[in-house]
Chain A
Amino acid sequence: MAAPSLNIAVTEKRFGVGAPLFADFNLSIEPGTVVALLGPSGIGKSSLLRMVAGIDRAFSGSIAIDAVAAAQAPAPGFVFQDARLLPWLTALENVRLANRDLDQAGAENLLSQVGLAGRGGDFPHQLSGGMQRRVSLARALAANPGLLVLDEPFVSLDAALAAEMRTLLAETIDARRPTVLLVTHNVEDGVRLADRIILLAGRPAQIAADVALDTPRSERNEAVLDAYRARLMA
């Protein structure tokens, strides 16, 4: 599945009374770009992701994936804050749940790509937390390898596991070149993974900064990362 473009033009999104979450919010994302949405908790990052995924349709405006309304477009590969595997399905069945056309060999191949070869028959409770996250990534790739929507995928993981998952995700992105929308509150995730970082601020949320990270991921050494961190902190 080819990486699609993403055009977000939300006229208004609100929850109850008070100021809207988004008002006249516009963002365009080129195919094959990794965009990180950074901002404080409660600003609407996850809400925007749910709108892009077609889960939340209660807003005015439009979100188009390759010119098709998000709700009608093929499901993106969604990685939630938790692994969110169905505990009564095996790892293999959880992956196949996302794509009924995917055969057993295809699902096993995806699991081996995330380092879980031979663990397809295990139920979630038989896997460690990190392994469950890997299954979740494999499921997202099964759903739509062209568009990944990641909602704080490293939150609640310890530092070592988060670094391991970040490396796995970077390898996956470099291998498949999908369009990625990554929500995070951690600058480190953005500078290591993204091609472009959008900083959100205020209510309604506005784009406070739009930073392009031109150095390819694989060539980002500590000096480059420090420079990016400094730009974002400025």
Chain B
Amino acid sequence: MVFVHRLFPTPVMVAEEIWALASEGRLLSDLVRTLVRAMAAFALAMVLGTALGIVLGRQAFLDRLFSSWLVVGLNLPAIVVAIVLYIWLGLTETALIAGVMINKVPLVIVTIREGVRSFSAEYEELGLALRLGFRRRLATIYWPQLLPFVLAAARTGLSLIWKIVLVFEVLGSDGGVGYRVSLMFQFFDVTGILAYTAAFIIVVLAFEYGVLRPLEGRARAWRRPA
């Protein structure tokens, strides 16, 4: 019975473990460290990927030149990137964040590039007919067309980043959810692992419903209800 409880804890046991870990302060500090890493990598990947996606979407020559590299980037195993960066840069925050970012950037580039390619020629013509300056065209014509793609890139990217950050923390880190889970793995502490996992999922859901969905709702307010 003891064996069964250790490997298959009940939800109540997991909840109690979450409470205990949170009371100690360790859970929160690990969650914060992981979140900071994920958010830093996410922000860098979104900014860099959006800029590069716009360039490749507008410049066919550059797109042809780099499209093969993009395919390589999309299919590069995350673990290889992590190991190589840890060797080159050491077990540092920079290596971890750069590794996560490198894994995410190609996905953002591809999504944004498709968004730019789908820009309406009719709206472009309207902008010219109304003599709209670049900043007004950006705000009223380009950005609203690009926003659904940015949100799609954010959503798919975040789901990817949540996972990769934890793997990278397992590989080489001195704190964070992934690091703590790897320690618990060594002691077969399934209750602790599930407690950390559940806490992490609660944070992800809070971000989904607290940030992403309201943003999407505002961005899609003008659409015809389905």
Which residues of A are interface residues toward B (Cβ below 8 A)?
50, 53-55, 74-76, 78, 80, 82, 84, 86-89, 97-98, 100, 123, 125, 143
Contacts and interface: CB of A to CB of B under 8 A. Distances in A.
Interface of B: 122-123, 125-126, 128-132, 136, 140-141, 144, 222-224
B129 A55 contact: yes
A78 B129 contact: yes
A86 B224 contact: no
B130 A98 contact: yes
Given A84-B122, A123-B222, A89 B140 contact: yes
B125 to A, nearest CB: 6
Is chain B's interface secondary structure helix, strand, loop, or mixed overall? helix
Among all A-B residue pairs, the 8 with the closest Cβ atoms: A125-B224, A75-B131, A78-B129, A88-B222, A88-B144, A55-B128, A123-B222, A98-B130
A75 B132 CA distance: 10
Is chain A's interface secondary structure helix, strand, loop, or mixed overall? loop
Nearest to A75: B131
Given A87-B222, A88-B144, A75 B122 contact: no
A97 B122 contact: no
A74 B131 CA distance: 8
B115 to A, nearest CB: 14
A143 B122 contact: no
A162 to B, nearest CB: 21
A97 B222 contact: no
A86 B130 contact: no
A54 B222 contact: no
B125 A97 contact: no
A40 B128 CA distance: 26
Nearest to B220: A88
A125 B226 CA distance: 12
Contacts of A74: 131
Nearest to B128: A55
A84 B123 CA distance: 7
Q: Which of B130, B136, B224 has the most CB of A within 10 A?
A: B130
Given A88-B144, A89-B140, A143 B223 contact: no
Given A78-B129, A97-B140, 19 more contacts: A50-B125, A53-B129, A54-B129, A54-B131, A74-B131, A78-B130, A80-B122, A80-B126, A82-B122, A86-B141, A86-B144, A87-B223, A97-B130, A97-B136, A98-B130, A123-B222, A125-B222, A125-B224, A143-B130
A11 to B, nearest CB: 22
A132 to B, nearest CB: 13
Given A97-B140, A123-B222, A86 B131 contact: no
B129 A75 contact: yes
Contacts of A143: 130
Contacts of B122: 80, 82, 84
A189 to B, nearest CB: 21
